[in-house]
Structure 1
């Protein structure tokens, strides 16, 4: 039996909300672990972590509402927030907000394994993209026909 795209849209929206909830917990832990901005943690890096926490929370909230109501634009907004979180993560990874040190760092960026990049592109790119396509293609709900109930006459 083949399920309709509306069911898959709601299922993926619910899974996206769960992923966003996990991301909120991870970003909260990062904020608690780093602490307040000081000589080791720049204010820009701290603000970026706070922005990621807010964006992930808003994406999770939008996807929860989208799961419950199946509203197309709410689900698309949650997907857009996931894409914004990916962009913020790439800014975080670029190291723009790292405080300069006087130690001699090893040349070049820190290499990440291929599995890490595949996971990043899947969670922040493929799943929100698929969900956005499903939400866009889903047929809108038809409004219920008006009932022909006559008003009581006096």
Structure 2
């Protein structure tokens, strides 16, 4: 398996009960499980993963659904400009402009196998291009579209960076 480091899996994370909601400023709210995601077109890409903790996992191969494909099915309203991506644990969230989030992948596999829970399975947000490691949200349970940029309190950056200190 990969060289990704792991942190404890929060008690609130139950891979068997996992569901993904696409909510908020959309024409059709969505509710999906892993089997639903598997019916969508998938993409595979290989990239290094660098963490602010100082380690690098090289040549990870991710496979998943382009977030833009999910958003297209939900039909963002004309007012939707940003999204909050929330983890299943209820505490971790990250905000993104819709344009940037659309390019990200919701990974369901890592290195040819189902994404393990300790690495964010069953679904982990993997931003493409330049990204901070804390933007790779594990256990994604909700993508909420909103009509304005979320505030600093709506990001997990402080949680992630607290692990470095």
> What TM-score does the superposition give when structure 2 sets the normalisation length?
0.24
Higher helix share: 1
Higher strand share: 2
Larger radius of gyration: 1
